[in-house]
A and B are shown apart, each in its own frame.
Chain A
Amino acid sequence: MKSILSEIAGGLALMLVATLVGIAVNAARPNGVALIQSGAPVATASHQKPAAGADSASATAPLPEGAISVDEMKAILDAGVASIIDARSDTEYAEGHIPGAINVPHDRLPEFIEMLTGTVATDAEVIVYCRSLTCDFSDLLATEMKILGYNNVRVFAGGMDHWKTAGHPVTTGATP
């Protein structure tokens, strides 16, 4: 037992040394990351279960702070001034998305960064959405986009649930 504990202590010491080397290399790299990530994650998704009898897709449910409503989303789409990003999987996107929305699956952002930064300027108005009020893919993507330098990112919290409930147009297929 003593021998095992000694090996575990050795393993932890090895990890500490590796971490210190990693910090030093990161500091010397031009593409190094900040050791302490500044800012705060975007958090608009509700993890509360809807009250009994309530419709989770209801467009009348109270909106989280900082999120935009389905009516605002429709006005923004009609004005054509913002880049709209769908944070769901490519399968869900193909089944139906907001017309003109670009698909950037939240969990595959590194694969999509080149396309995203080439398509959407960092000073552009960006709206991110996913499935519904309880879906946090859009929060995760909005958080990462802010870290990437996008300074005007908001979340359409109701997502496709509210969009469809409101009867707004939906585009199917793999393209915007």
Chain B
Amino acid sequence: MKTLLSNRWLQIALRLVVGGMFLVAAYPKVMNAAAFAMSVRGYKIIPFSLSNLFAIAVSWSELFAAVMLILGILTRKAASAIAILLVVFIAAIITVMVRGMVVDCGCFGEKGGSNTSWILIVRNVGLLAACIIVIKYNDGFASLYPWRKRAA
């Protein structure tokens, strides 16, 4: 199992899929912080006054982590940042569903979202699993800045 999960081609594929999805998700949010802040306020979790700051923090963290994951710059830390974001997203979606609310997830910025549902949670759990595999088994192959080399 360990051999499979540390397979370099699987690692590259996971980096590209997760990084690619987050890059596509981050771009419209970074370009239009006001629209993403509206989605944030729709969740009614973050204090109203902090909604804009939270929107900036999430969108730019997504952008940085996605680019670093794809290029292989501090790959594990980038995967960790995305994993932290995914845990926050999963918790937010669950609290919205528990409260019986239906809100646009804001996942891909102003036009590409879908309403919060179990499907979104399953998708995010899948992405989280991919991040954990990268954090645990990535050996720095095909990376611009591998800070740790492991024996192949």
Q: Which of A32-66 contact B (CB under 8 A)?
A: 32-41
* Total residues of chain B contacting the partner, CB 8 A: 44
- Secondary structure at chain B's binding surface: helix, strand, loop or mixed? helix
A1-41, CB under 8 A of B: which get 1 and which 0?
A: 00010011011111101110111011000011111111111
Q: B78 within 8 Å of A by Cβ? A: yes
* Contact yes or no, A33 B56, CB < 8 A: yes
Q: A82 within 8 Å of B by Cβ? A: no
A36 to B50, CA, bound (A): 6
Please pick, from A11, A37, A108, the residue contacting B77 in the complex, using a CB distance under 8 A.
A11
- Secondary structure at chain A's binding surface: helix, strand, loop or mixed? helix
A8 to B63, CA, bound (A): 17
* Contact yes or no, B33 A33, CB < 8 A: yes
Write 5 A-B pairs (CB below 8 A) sorted by A numbering. A7-B79, A14-B81, A21-B60, A31-B32, A35-B53
Q: A109 within 8 Å of B by Cβ? A: yes
Q: Which of B4-44 contact A (CB under 8 A)?
A: 30, 32-35, 37-38, 41-42
Chain B proximity of A33: nearest CB distance (Å): 4
A128 to B21, CA, bound (A): 36
Chain A residues within 8 Å of B79, by CB: 7, 11
